[in-house]
Amino acid sequence: MEYGYLSIIPPLLAIVMALLTRRVLLSLFVGILSAQYIIADFQLLATLQHTVALFVSLLSEAWIVKTLLFALLVGSVMALLKASGGIEGLIDLLTRRYALVTSKRSALLLTYGVGVLIFIESSITSLIAGAIGRPLSERYGFSRAKLAYVCDSTSAPVCSLIMINGWGALVLGLLATQLSSGVITGDGVSWLLDALVYNFYAMAALAVTFAVIWFDLNMGEATLSHRKSTAQQNSTNSADALLMLLPLGVMIATVFLVLFVTGGGNMLHGSGSSAIFYAQVVTLVFMGLYYRYKQVMRPKKWFQEAFNGLKSMREIALILLFAFAIGASTQGLGTGTYLATFSQDILSVTYVAAVIFLLAAVMAFATGTSWGTFSIMIPVAVPMAVGMDANVALCIGAVISGGVFGDHCSPISDTTIIASLASGCDHIEHVVTQLPYALFSGVMALTLFIAFS
């Protein structure tokens, strides 16, 4: 069934409510109920039945359960890193012993560098960058909103540029369908590499983030809390950076290993949800054994800290579940397909890539998922580009860029939510303060798509 303009009402309702009320859970739930109300043909009882069935179906999906458990276990890892003194040890190593971090700029550049180097999975990128950046924000007096912006801008953009991860597997799979149907010829890897050259938003976002750090620019969060904390100014001699670095090393190695195993020897075909979940489990076990060996934490203390950290992530896990639910609802309404039909009759070849970029951005913003946007838009954009004799690789790059742009701006995006939690920043505060930077990067990307067309 086609729902037409009704399909865009639920996601927009959720987004507007979240921005106005700052109550993310309530806003998402209202968006979910309104979507199910439309799907149930405006029948109240059927709406309730559809809503229950939706959550049951979501919780029966292994990847969703693993992602939710990952969000909870992230809290445990963060709590243990803090309680062990590992974070203090790393900060002491960087600020006092080697003097690599001596100012707000160098602290943010370190966070930026961590985000760029760890491209295996956007959630892991935000987690590690946030864990390192949070104590530095207290010491050098920059806001958590600025930290969240740096974490968010070096997660999905980097993962979408260096696609040796689940992102690459998804896009290659979508391109394989176009190749098998004869829409395009060649091989998927070549098309992917050609398209990444045109991933203008990711490039612009990384460049703008670097400029914001280097020149200390504040477009959205200049008035937010830049309070210095004196609590951690004098780190203890017992603090050991290895208490943080070794667990993070185990985590990253486990992600690569699980991607390799689940992909049958090819990491591009591995399961991202399994990788991030098992990485947290293995890391927690390693931390328990290693901290006991180093005599910094007994098993009882390990359990207490891990449990307290897990409890602190309950609301975030619920937000993620609701974000998945509204994403599934918009898919059921055909929101993406409806938006895609707008462009097909009015495009000229000069603006085809720019319009695809904008359409993908709107779709990702409304649905909160870049991957879902790729899945909808690549099968639309590739035949459209071929039929109009446009640059196919440029149009694929426009889909990737637009999906990351819209996802970057959306308050119902899981990557935005995880960047907020990793940085210890209020979620809506992060969304509002990030928008000026993201929109500026988006304008740069749009200009480049028009110029290259």
**Nearest in space to 160 (alpha carbons), one of 111, 198, 127, 213:** 198
Of 72 and 394, more confident:
394
pLDDT of res. 100:
82
Task: Give the pLDDT confidence of 203-235 residue by residue, as tens digits.
Answer: 999 999 999 999 988 876 544 444 443 334 444
The total domain count for the chain is 1
Does 410 reside within a domain? no
Confidence of residue 68 (pLDDT cuts 50, 70, 90): confident
pLDDT of res. 232:
41
pLDDT at 372 over 80: no
Q: Rounded to whole angstroms, how far apart are CA atoms 358 and 346?
A: 14
Q: What is the pTM of this model?
A: 0.75
- Of the CA atoms within 13 Å of residue 324, those in its CB half-sphere come to 19
Does 453 reside within a domain? no
Token pair 């935005």: residue: 416
Does 378 reside within a domain? no
Residues 6+ apart with CB under 8 A from 378: 171, 174, 175, 178, 396, 399
Of 330 and 106, more confident:
106
pLDDT at 416 over 50: yes
Does 30 reside within a domain? no
Q: Rounded to whole angstroms, how far apart are CA atoms 195 and 177?
A: 16
3-state secondary structure at position 10: helix
Does 413 reside within a domain? no
Length of the chain: 453
Give the single-character DSSP code of 94. I
46-50, 299-303, 368-372, 442-446, range with the lowest pLDDT? 368-372
What domain range is 253 assigned to?
62-167+200-221+234-315
Q: Mean pLDDT for the chain?
A: 84
pLDDT at 406 over 60: yes
Does 94 reside within a domain? yes
Mean pLDDT of 1-30: 80
Does 353 reside within a domain? no
% the chain with pLDDT above 90: 34
Does 93 reside within a domain? yes
Mean pLDDT of 298-316: 89
